[in-house]
């Protein structure tokens, strides 16, 4: 029996961070720089992401995003499989809800609703960049500092975890001739 099933521990929860872009999971091309010997060198993570065009209604633009983590205590890059995200799920996905939709139809409807909200607010609701609440990794490392947060980014086959006291981001550059998304972002 897992520690979650036995009630001994709370399951970690992913909280999407409020950003106007979505990591291109299929072509993320993560790159990370961390200061192993220089404690004041920030940890930086770069990746490809899609953002809405200027008017929020037009096509997506690919950008290279650079996230800078302040006072990073630890960072890791791990192999990732789609099923790994179930570690963070609050509950098992429902199969047959009363709306009469199957899982595929429900996912399409959810995507359309998320995309409409993204276009309306400018914030992507499922950006691929999260804060992990109730982090197992922080427990394993015995980090009990209320200012330290666990940040998690996910691509198609790799995930990146960083423990840090804060973060900021910037557009490093636009990719003018980027192909359109292979899957709908969000």
- The whole-number average pLDDT for the span 137-150 is 95
**pLDDT above 90: residue 149:** yes
- What are 108-129's pLDDT values in tens digits? 788 788 888 888 888 888 889 9
pLDDT at residue 164 in the model: 94
pLDDT in tens, 4-22: 444 556 788 989 999 999 9
Question: What is the pLDDT, as a whole number, of residue 130?
Answer: 93
Ramachandran category for residue 57: left, alpha or beta (phi over 0 → left; psi -120 to 50 → alpha): alpha
Nearest-angstrom CA–CA distance, 80 and 186: 18
Altogether, the residues listed in the chain come to a count of: 186
Question: pLDDT band for position 167 (50/70/90)?
Answer: very high
């Amino acid at each position: 029996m897992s520690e979650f099933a036995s009630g001994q521990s709370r399951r970690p929860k992913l909280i999407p961070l409020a950003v106007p872009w979505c990591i291109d999971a299929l072509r993320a091309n993560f790159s990370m720089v961390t200061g192993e010997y220089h404690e004041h060198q920030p940890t930086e993570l770069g990746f490809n992401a899609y953002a809405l065009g200027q008017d929020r209604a037009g096509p997506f633009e690919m950008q290279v995003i650079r996230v800078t983590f302040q006072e990073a205590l630890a960072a890791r890059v791990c192999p990732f499989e789609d099923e790994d995200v179930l570690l963070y799920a609050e509950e098992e996905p429902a199969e047959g809800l009363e709306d009469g939709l199957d899982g595929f139809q429900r996912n399409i409807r959810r995507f359309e609703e998320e995309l409409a909200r993204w276009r309306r607010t400018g914030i992507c609701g499922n950006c691929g960049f999260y804060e992990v609440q109730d982090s197992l990794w922080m427990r394993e490392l015995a980090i009990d500092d209320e200012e330290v947060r666990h940040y998690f980014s996910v691509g198609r086959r790799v995930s990146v975890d960083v423990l840090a006291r804060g973060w900021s981001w910037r557009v490093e550059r636009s990719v003018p001739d980027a192909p359109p998304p292979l899957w709908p972002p969000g």
